[in-house]
Amino acid sequence: MNTVNVTVNLTMALTIGGLYAVGFYLLLQRSLMRIIIGIVIVGHAANMFLQLAGGPPGRSPIVGVSPAEEMTDPLPQAMALTAIVITFALTTFLLALAYRSSVLLGHDEVRDDVEDRRIRRQQQRVDEREEPDEPGADRKFEFGTDNDKEATR
């Protein structure tokens, strides 16, 4: 295994950075298909990153074909392989979601969260009216009740 200079070379670093940037940009979109493509691209970049952790290029890690000093690191390759397969599983699942969303809703856009919007609208209404909210108005209560009655008669 090459241990002399294991840093990632500039080209690869740029590639990874560029792919991540593209992937993040796509993830920030509204269309579900673009988001899925973004996930796929980020997945590719991540697998690349993983494999690069094994060091600079070398010969394939097969005993008998390449001498041990020139082999690339097999462990990140195995991890990246697992990651590729799992990303594939995730992608198919997301595609099924996109399909279902388009069938049921007619579009594949990611809409805003309903509950958060409700709170935001409520907050805006309160701001506009400048009324103090009285959520504690019904909080006064008296002590002492007849709980014992329930259990004891």
Partner 1 sequence: MLLLVTAHLVLAALLPTVSRWLGRWAFAVGAILPAVSLGWALTSLTEVLAGGTVDESVAWAPVLGLTFTLRLDILSLLMIFLVSGVGVLILCYCVYYFKPDAQSNSRTSALLVAFAGAMLGLVLADDLFTLYIFWELTTVCSFLLVGQDGNTKQQRRSSIQALLVTVLGGLSMLLGFVLLGEQAGTYRISEIVASPPAAGALTSTALVLILLGAFTKSAQVPFHTWLPGAMVAPTPVSAYLHAASMVKAGVYLVARLSPAFSDHTPWWPLIATLGIWTMLIGGYRALFERDLKTLLAYGTVSQLGFLMVLMGAGSHTVAMAGATMLIAHGLFKSTLFLVVGIIDHQAGTRNIDELSGIRRRFPVLTVIGAIGALSMAGIPPLFGFLGKEAAFEGFLESGTTGDLVVLVGLVLGSALTAAYSFRFLWGAFGTKPGVEDSSAPKPSLGLMVPAAVPAALTLLLGVVASLFNALATTYAEPYPAGDHPYYLALWHGFSLPLLLSAVVVASGVGLHLARDRVVRLGGWLPDFLQAQPGYERTVAGLDTVSYAVTGRFQAGSLPTYLAIILLTFVLVPGSAVLTGGSMPEELRLWDSAVQVPVAILVLTAAIAVTMAKRRMTAVILTGVVGYGIGAFFVLDGGPDLALAQFLVETLTLVAFVFVLRRLPSRFTQVESTRSPRWPKVAVSVAAGALVAVSALVFSGARQAPPEASEGFVEAAPEGAHANNVVNAILVDFRAFDTVGEISVLAVAATGVASLILATRRARRPSAAEETEGPRKSREVRK
Partner 2 sequence: MSEGPPRSQPSGEKKRRTSLWEEWDTPQEHWLLVGSHRDGRERSLLLEVAARIIFPTVLVLSLYLLFAGHNRSGGGFSGGLVAGQAFVVRYLAGGPMEVRAAVGLRPPVIIGAGLSLAVLTGLAPIFWGEAPLTSAYVSMTLPVLGDVHVVSSLFLDMGVYLLIVGVVCDLLRTLGAGIEEQSPRPRRRPSG
- In the complex, what is the shortest distance from the CB of residue 101 to partner 1, in angstroms, rounded to a whole number? 10
Contacts of 24 by beta carbon, 8 Å cutoff, 6+ apart: 38, 42
Beta bridge partners of 71: 59
Residues 5-24 that bind partner 1 (CB under 8 A): 5-24
Cβ proximity to partner 1, 89 vs 129, nearer residue: 89
Given the complex with partner 1, which of 61 and 129 has the nearer CB atom? 61
23/51 with CB nearer partner 2: 51
Q: Could you tell me the smallest distance in angstroms from the CB atom of residue 121 to partner 2?
A: 37
User: In angstroms, rounded to a whole number, what is the distance separating the alpha carbons of residues 17 and 32?
Assistant: 23
The answer to whether 71 and 60 have CB atoms below 8 angstroms apart is: yes
Residue 105 contacts partner 1 per CB under 8 A: no
What's the rounded Cα separation, in Å, for the pair 71 and 86? 26
